[in-house]
A and B are shown apart, each in its own frame.
Chain A
């Protein structure tokens, strides 16, 4: 019982000494200690939310991996840009052919006229056959 009383008395003395030291701490040091404590508590709360799962946890996780997300976005934008550019190249090539075809002396209808194409083949064949050996 005497041992117990001694222990209580020792704890009371320690508290008294600590309280005296707290009172003598510089105001700036006290403010820094308070900020550090608040940051530690806030970080602990964030970790608790992230590990608890759910939408908020996912958002926190994405936020922490924002660099990877930005890289993915850049990749998607690049792929989309390439697709647009490729389509434009194909359209430009098609426009070039169609413009040449439509402005040519020979009407596009000639290439679809089976009679003309057959006539052309027959005359070409005839010319080849009549060439001197």
Chain B
């Protein structure tokens, strides 16, 4: 009955997530190959999530598939807090108008072309600003 109620995009595979990489079907192994070394260490619900992504993967555009392949491993190695923060910021940007979202894409591609030392300078300035804001809040709270 549960399977009958599941969304159309879902298959039974994502209800059960084998802990052993070798127990995954061959097509899932191919899609999730960047995760092979970390698979066993992932929590059960994360393995289910990746199987769910693998189910949807064939319906993605080739360029999107390529991006997912490139970013999968880095994403999995982030801390839970970092992943949560990234999801929240992404969702906030998705709420903005299409022009604003387009502007963010444009700015990101510009930012990526900046020299590394310039990027570092911006990061340092942001960290300094965050520290001074935090100490200002502390003083105001005293």
Q: Which residues of A contact B (CB under 8 A)?
A: 81, 84-85, 87-88, 90-92, 94-95, 97-120, 123
Contact = CB atoms under 8 A, between A and B. Distances in A.
Contacts of B87: 97-98, 101
Main secondary structure of the interface of B (DSSP, over half): helix
B2 A84 contact: yes
Interface in B1-38: 1-2, 5-7, 9-10, 14-15
Contacts of A107: 71, 108
A85 B126 CA distance: 43
Contacts of B71: 102, 107-108
Contacts of A88: 2, 6, 10, 14-15, 48
B105 A91 contact: no
Contacts, number: 117
Main secondary structure of the interface of A (DSSP, over half): helix
Contacts of A117: 89, 126
Interface in B106-129: 107-108, 111, 119-123, 125-127, 129
A109 to B, nearest CB: 7
A116 B123 CA distance: 8
Given A91-B14, A111-B85, A101 B90 contact: yes
B86 interface: yes
Contact of A98 (B15, B53, B104): B53
